[in-house]
Each structure stands twice: as C-alpha cells, then as structure tokens.
Structure 1
Amino acid sequence: MKNLIALALSLFITYSSGIAQELKKSKSLKTALEQSLSSKKPVLLIIEVSGLPKPTDLPPNAKISFKSALDEPEVINSINENFVVYKTTMSDTSVRSIIREANVKSFPAFVFLRANKDVFYKDFGNSTDQKKYISMIEKALSASKEASISDLEAQFNADKNNNTVLRKLIDTRKKIGITNNAQLIEQYANNLKIGDFNDYQNVLYILEAGPYSDGNAYKLANTNRKIIDSLYRTEPLQRRTALNNAIISNTIADAAKNKNTSRAISAASFARNTWTRDYRRGEQAYNTQILWYYSTIKDTANYLRTASYFYDNFYMNIGVDSIKKIEAKDRKALSQKHIASMPNQKQISKEKLDSLQKIDGKTVVTQSVVTFSSTSNSYANELNNAAWKFYEIGTKNLNYLSKAMIWSRRSIELNPIAGYYDTLAHILYRLGYNEEAIKTQEIAIDKAKIEKSSTASLELELKKIKAKTL
C-alpha cells in the first residue's frame, strides 16, 4: 500500500453558514500566467488539500463550514482587484514544481507569483479574522515591488564576485522559503577572506544557507571550532534543527542528482552525527538518507541489501509493547512541540466547547481544530512502506520477499488497518501463496468498510489475485 502521509492542518468549524462572494478564478495555471502577463497583475495561487475527513461528534443542529475570512467581501474585492487567482489542490501536477521549489509544506497555501513563475511571497492557513488576509495582501503587494529572483540572478551572473548582490539573492530566496542555496553559498564563501570566518554572524549565515556537508563552504565555516561550538550551544533549537535539515536535504538531493555516492554518504553521516547522544536514532537517520539515495538513483541491489539489514536490526529487534510505549512518548512530545510552536493559538477546553455547543439559536461557535497524527503509528507505517517497496521493486528473491512478509505481518500486529493487509496480500501473491493472499485481501476489504474508506481499488486487486493476473 502506498505511503500514508500525515499533514498538519488548521480547520475552522462554524455553527452557521452564509452565502459568500466568489473569487474570480482562472481555469488553469497556464491561463493565470498569461492573464498575469497581459494585465500586469501578479498571480495568487491558492493550494488546498482535497479529501479532508468530516468532523464527528458534533451537535445535531451543527452546520459545517470550512470557509474562513478569505470569503469576506472586503478580502475578495481586494484580491480580485490586485491579483489573478488560480485555485487548485496539492495533487495538481502543474503546481508541483512550485510547491517543491518554494518549499510549501502547510496548507491551504497562498503562493504569489510573477508572470514568469517567480515566487515572491507566500503564506498559509485559515483564519476567521479578515485582518490576516488584508495583511497578507499588503505584504504581497509590497514584495512584488522588490527585485525579482530572476533579476537578481542576472546581476549575479554578470558579476559572481559581488557578495552584496549574491547575499541579496540568497536572502530573497530564503524569504519565500527556498532552503536549497548550497551552490550559491559555495560561491559566497569562496569570495570571503579567511579572517571572515572568525565572524559569528558570517558562519551562521553560511550554515543557514544549507551548504553541502562535503563542500568548501561548510569546511571553511567550521575552521573556527569555538564559533561552531558556541553556535550549537546558544542558538534556539528550532534554528539549529532547520540549518541541519537544510544541510542534509541539499547534500543528499545533489548526491542523487549527480549519482555521487561519496556525497550521499557524507549527507547520511552528517544526519547520524546530529544525534550525538542517541546512537539508535543516529543509525536510523543515516539509513533513512542512504536508502532514499539508493531508491532515487534506482540502485536496487544496494537498496535491498541495506534495507534488509536496517529494518531487521532497527524495527524487528524490539517487542510490540516496547514499540507502543516509545510511540506514545513520541506522540506526547510531538503534541507539546506543536502547541509550543503556536504561542498565539487560542486553546479551547473541552468543557468550554461542550457548553458552547449546547447554546440554542443562531449563535456562532468557532472551534479551531489542529490535527497532526497519521492513521497509523510510525513503526507500523515504516514497516508497511518497506514491505511494499520490496514488492514494488519487483524482486523475486525469496529471502527478500520473506523479510517483507515478516515486516508486513508485524505492521499489522501493531496496527491492523486495511492498507497493511493489502500490502501483505500482494507479498503473499508474489510468494505463490494464492489462497492465503485471497483471504488476506478479503480481510483488507472488510477492514476498509469498517474504516469507511473506498474498497474499489482493493476489490479490483482481489479480482487480479483470483485470476492470477496481478
């Protein structure tokens, strides 16, 4: 079964509804960009998530609305006046490159583009306060008047030794969430004098640009160990985590792009070293990166060999009860971290919400609901995904398939959901256990019905298993 993805979303449930004015929307991104060019207006790209689950356990008279202050006439008029709008979902292939380039991770997302697809501002999230959107519009209009990334790139290419222009280019990219500035920071570091690396702010700036872990910029930034030690001791955890993640992701991405195994190992080793006091998490971080690399460059032999060792030794040498305790602890830590990251988010107690829900009449009650859990725990999900990957690769090696079957059974033991039974059925079929595969797929269908999810694809797979055409 394909990977299950967890998303952090802010939803607003309102116990009354009204008729809202509509935004003027283009039919496609291409049309929006063409209209932007002719009208001299920037594009506002609104990216939503489709298939959101409906809230449960609400009062009988509750009317559900996922609308926000974005639907207020003043906001709509301002958007229509200043922007060309294209509204879509994150599954739209025409916007995937924009999502990736601008590092869009929170939805609904509001991405502002020039006619040449340059992103110059972005925001996210629903709100019942129209001031949020008025402020967003004002900031976007202000940002649209600044030098574009394309203009700054042209200036940089004309004089690559000009660190003033280069820094402005990097800052502009960082402002809209582009974290892959590794190549630019290489040039920036090469333009500096050796004494410049004794400056704390210079070193911090280089590291926050996400240099390659085996690159010259990273090596030069680490020449003064006192500054590095001070930086990792005094900077906020969120900032340190962000710069480490940028270094890892930029290095491993470039390694995969150029099939550079040495660079991939450097990225994986850096990831492991970020867990200095936790050997187990360090090994997990290393193998996660190196497996992604082998998978991306389609090095099947190394992927299967490395994955077999990793999942057996990391996920299968610990009991179910111990796993559940670890996951409960991790979920609690994640919850506390998520709440701490939103200091201005209003928290409504269950008792207060219950009392508000009992109010009769037309009173409007708004509840902010934040969800950040997946439909399964992470150990089960990781094992299921690993088992499915082995099936997906197409291996007929009985040793590898047997491992995948064991991992799949463990994922079901941890969390018996339809998707995991579907994975097991496919592996059993590949191993030649047709009757058991049929029974397992039938269980998957029964589970899906209980979960109130679609059974169409599961039933189609069952037909293929029975016909031996899978």
Structure 2
Amino acid sequence: MKKLILMLFLIPTLLFAQNEGVKFEHGLNWTQIQEKAAKENKFIFVDCFTTWCGPCKYMSNTIFPQAKVGDFFNAKFINAKIQMDKTDKDNEEVKSWYQEADRFAKDYNVRAYPTFLIFDTKGNLVHRIVGGGEADDFIAKARKAFDPNTQYETLLAKFNADPNNLSIAKSMAQAAKDAYDQETQAKAEGIVLTSLPTDQIFTKEYIELLLSAANVVDSKAFNLIKDNQAKFDAVSEKVKANDFLSQLLIANTINTKISAKEAVDFTAIEKELAQKYPTINTEKASLEIQPRYFSYTKNYPGLRDSFNKYIAKYGSTITAGELNNMAWSIFENCDDPACLKAAAEWSKLSLEKEKETPMYLDTFANILYRLGEKEKAIKTQEKAISLLTDATQKEEYVATLQKMKKGEKTWQ
C-alpha cells in the first residue's frame, strides 16, 4: 500500500502536558517562563510549531510523551510550546501568544518547522534544533545546548568574529546544516574548502562537508568531485562520484525546465550534459528519475514504460520499497489495464524481494482488485491482514477488505 502514514492529531492548545513525557508549561507568559527558569536554574526549551506541520505532530504525539524524553527535558529545562500560525480554532491562550509568536519568528529567525530554541538560565538564546528526530537522537542534539563548544548561537558568534578560523568554520558548517541555516552553512563550507589543499579535502574527515557543499552545480565543491572522482570514490562510503554528480545534474536540469515551463526531452538532456560534462555518465540517473517525472506530470503510460526500462537494466539494485511505491502510484491514479498489469508485475517483484510483507501484499491485492480479479484480491488482502500486528493498520486493511467484498472502489 501507500507509505505508512501516522494519523496524528494536534491538540489545539498552546501548552501541552503529558503524564510521563515532557511537561510543557501552561498558563505562563514568556516573562514568567524566564523568571521560573532563573529561579530553578534551568535552561528554557521552546517548541516553535505550526498546526499544519507533520513532523511537529510527530514530535508532540510520539517523541515528547516518552518517559525517557520527559526525564531528560523535565530535569534540565523549563519547557514551552509556541504555536507559530493562526487558525480559526485557536483558543484564548493561543491567541494571547500571537504577538510573542510573531516576535520569536522575527527575532530568532524561525523559518522552518519544527524549530526548537534553547535559552540559558538568563534568557539568552544559545542553541537551536531544526526538524524532529527519534528520541535518543533528539536528546543528543539538545545536550549540545549545555556546551559552549557546540551551542549553535555561541558558535555562530565566534564564527562571525573570526570567519577565517578553519577549526571554527568546520564546526560552524556542520552546526549550520543541523540548524537549517543554509547561508551560514555555505559560507563556512566555502572557507573550509578554500583553506585546505586538495589531498586533505579527500579524506574521511572532510568528505561529508564536501558532499554537502557540492549540492550546487558548477560550485567549487562540485568541480572538486568532478575533477577528482577516483580520489572521492576511494574515501566515500555512501555514494560514488558519478552517481552523485549525475543525479544532481539531471535533477537540476529537469527542475530548471519545469520552472521555465519548457518541454522535458530526456534524450536531448543526456546528450547536452554529455557534451558539457564528458566525464560524467548520466544514463542511470536519467532512467531513475524518468518514472518520478512522469508520475509528477500524470503521464502514467510514460511512467510504465520508463520504469520497465529501468528495471530491465538496473533491476538488481531496485529496492522492494521503490517497486511498491511505483506500483501504488499506478493503482491510485490510472485505470489503463496495461499500466495496471505492469504495476502488478512490479508488486509481485517487490514480494519476491521481501516475502510476506503486509504493506506489499496490500498493494498487490488492491491492484488485482482494480484489474477485476476480485477473489484473488480478497485472498491476498486476507493474507496481509493475518500478518499484521499493529491494530490501527489492521483496521485500515480490514476496511479495504470490506470494500472489496462489497464491490466498492478502494481508490479515490
């Protein structure tokens, strides 16, 4: 089936409390929160969230209620939540924080959600975390707020005061990446790459920074990798130079054409890139991105044909999840029997790679059902249900099974 989505509901209050998890302050204004932090000699942790943000909901409903997360944050911080958007359902307490929320966004440069701000006992901003995470990882990120060497805002001040200091620039580059401060990240990465000899850049110590900085076509970092592919491959454990560069070039070219509302001709694009970058082979990257492009443009016969080409040439490297996602995209959006039959083959291949996986069985059952193979679809869905342990997911699968038995549509 489609990727598992957690159905989470955001409680419409500004300040949220749990029995075992993180205890967020309720009924205090910002001045009172600062006073309480000073009195208890604690730092202040502020969750800047919006009602529409999925990761915000995940943190509130899955991470913050955990006992170990509560134990850490309740002992170390005075915790508060600030809703950064405005809705018709806001209660009076949320409304009372509207002005403060606007100030936080402006004064503390809150541009992505969730953003977590950490203040010291005197109310000075010392650290920020952008984006959620699992419990242990998030606790580790929050611990950095207590060390001046890892506090984001403290490090930023040091960097601005001495931007050519290689050690500070290196730390700043990683910290800025974690904090989603792209401007500072690019500046720090540039200083590091300019300061080091080429041979030193192609080491395990700097390879992640090089990759991060190379995400702009024809940048210094991009050209360093392009001109030193063998050195890069000798050190990189995550990706080969040609794969990284070709994917970046193909994606950048297609996005540029889409933005300019120009036609996308993959053969022409590959030819153009081969002339400009003769040391980079873009064939695989082009085949890999074509099905996603055709899905985006709702050209499902194009998706079918391009994905079949990709499977024919690189099938051994395709994951069961990729096969399942493409099959589900066809099922949800296309009633062409030829496309649905192709999706059924992809679905079967996903089950060959990962046998008896409920999610993949559900996809196969739905495709069979849309193809008119009702009895086989029902048996496949019943098998998927029998393998499930999660009650919420089982309820969803059972609902689909009932639609199949009644002859109702299982797609929108």
Higher relative contact order (CA 8 A, sep 6+): 1
Unaligned runs of 5+ in 1: 6-18, 53-64, 88-97, 105-109, 156-162, 277-281, 319-325, 327-377
Give the corresponding residue for 1:215: 218
Matched, 1:311 2:311: yes
Give the corresponding residue for 2:76: 78
- Contact 1:70/1:76 (CA < 8 Å) preserved in 2? yes
Give the corresponding residue for 1:411: 350
- Contact 1:25/1:84 (CA < 8 Å) preserved in 2? yes
> Which of 337, 360, 366 does residue 426 from structure 1 map onto?
366
> Which of 339, 345, 348 does residue 400 from structure 1 map onto?
339
CA distance in 1, matches of 2:402, 2:182: 49
Q: CA deviation at 1:111?
A: 4.7
> Which of 376, 390, 393 does residue 436 from structure 1 map onto?
376
Superimposed CA distance per residue, residues 21-75 of structure 1 (whole angstroms, 9 cap, x where no aligned partner): 8644168xxx99x9599959562579649679xxxxxxxxxxxx96338516xx6
- After superposition, the Cα gap between the structure-2 partners of 1:41 and 1:390, relative to the gap in structure 1 and judged at 3 Å, is same
Superimposed CA distance per residue, residues 360-388 of structure 1 (whole angstroms, 9 cap, x where no aligned partner): xxxxxxxxxxxxxxxxxx84444333322
Give the corresponding residue for 2:403: 464
Identity of aligned residues (%): 18
- Contact 1:212/1:251 (CA < 8 Å) preserved in 2? no
State the SS of the aligned residue for 2:213: coil
CA distance in 2, matches of 1:228, 1:409: 38
Q: CA deviation at 1:138?
A: 0.5
The letter for the 1-side match of 2:329 is K
Give the corresponding residue for 2:147: 139
- Contact 1:445/1:458 (CA < 8 Å) preserved in 2? yes
- Contact 2:382/2:401 (CA < 8 Å) preserved in 1? yes
Using the size of structure 2 for normalisation, the TM-score is 0.54
- Contact 1:25/1:85 (CA < 8 Å) preserved in 2? yes
Superimposed CA distance per residue, residues 292-332 of structure 1 (whole angstroms, 9 cap, x where no aligned partner): 444456554543321122235544xx7xxxxxxx9xxxxxx
Q: Report the aligned-residue RMSD.
A: 6.1
Using the size of structure 1 for normalisation, the TM-score is 0.48
- Contact 1:211/1:217 (CA < 8 Å) preserved in 2? yes
Superimposed CA distance per residue, residues 176-208 of structure 1 (whole angstroms, 9 cap, x where no aligned partner): 43589699859997xx99xx9975567868833
The letter for the 1-side match of 2:46 is V
The letter for the 1-side match of 2:212 is A
CA distance in 1, matches of 2:176, 2:242: 19
Give the corresponding residue for 2:128: 120
- After superposition, the Cα gap between the structure-2 partners of 1:209 and 1:467, relative to the gap in structure 1 and judged at 3 Å, is closer
- Contact 1:211/1:250 (CA < 8 Å) preserved in 2? no
1:44-443 aligned within 5 A: 48=59, 67-68=67-68, 71=71, 76-80=74-78, 84=80, 111-112=116-117, 120-121=128-129, 135-139=143-147, 142-147=151-156, 172=172, 174-178=174-178, 199-200=198-199, 207-212=210-215, 214-218=217-221, 220-221=223-224, 225=227, 229-233=230-234, 235=235, 237-238=236-237, 241=239, 254=252, 257-259=255-257, 287-296=287-296, 298=298, 300-315=300-315, 379-392=319-332, 394-413=333-352, 414-443=354-383
CA distance in 1, matches of 2:31, 2:280: 47
State the SS of the aligned residue for 2:177: coil
CA distance in 2, matches of 1:182, 1:383: 37
Count of matched residue positions in the alignment of Structure 1 and Structure 2: 328
Superimposed CA distance per residue, residues 124-164 of structure 1 (whole angstroms, 9 cap, x where no aligned partner): 6656xx9x69943403784334548xx98xx9xxxxxxx96
The letter for the 2-side match of 1:78 is K
State the SS of the aligned residue for 1:387: helix
CA distance in 1, matches of 2:68, 2:240: 30
State the SS of the aligned residue for 2:409: coil
- Contact 1:182/1:212 (CA < 8 Å) preserved in 2? no
Give the corresponding residue for 1:43: 46
CA distance in 2, matches of 1:396, 1:289: 23
CA distance in 2, matches of 1:248, 1:222: 12
